Amino acid sequence: MSSKTICIRLPTDVVEKIDQMAKKEGVKRSQLIRKLILQSLKSSSQDVMTLAILSKKIRVLFARVEKLEEELRRIGRR
């Protein structure tokens, strides 16, 4: 994998938390940060897909509800 170096400033308490997590996982700080960033990016793209799928399903569901309401109104007029 090709990569580039970046530099970020984080609050001390955040860096300490990252160090604790890295130690717990047995990896270097940079490895953990890379993993977290990549997971976040992958997750957010999946979230967009999930939202699109849910949106479509909701539209279909509303259409079915409208049909049922129309049918109930029709039955009620008899």
CA distance 45 to 43: 5
Q: Is 28 left (phi over 0), alpha (psi -120 to 50) or beta?
A: beta
- The per-residue pLDDT for range 3-18, each reduced to its tens digit, is 888 898 999 999 999 9
Per-residue pLDDT for the chain (78 aa), expressed as one digit of tens each? 788 888 989 999 999 999 999 999 999 999 999 999 888 877 766 776 777 787 888 888 888 888 998 899 899 887
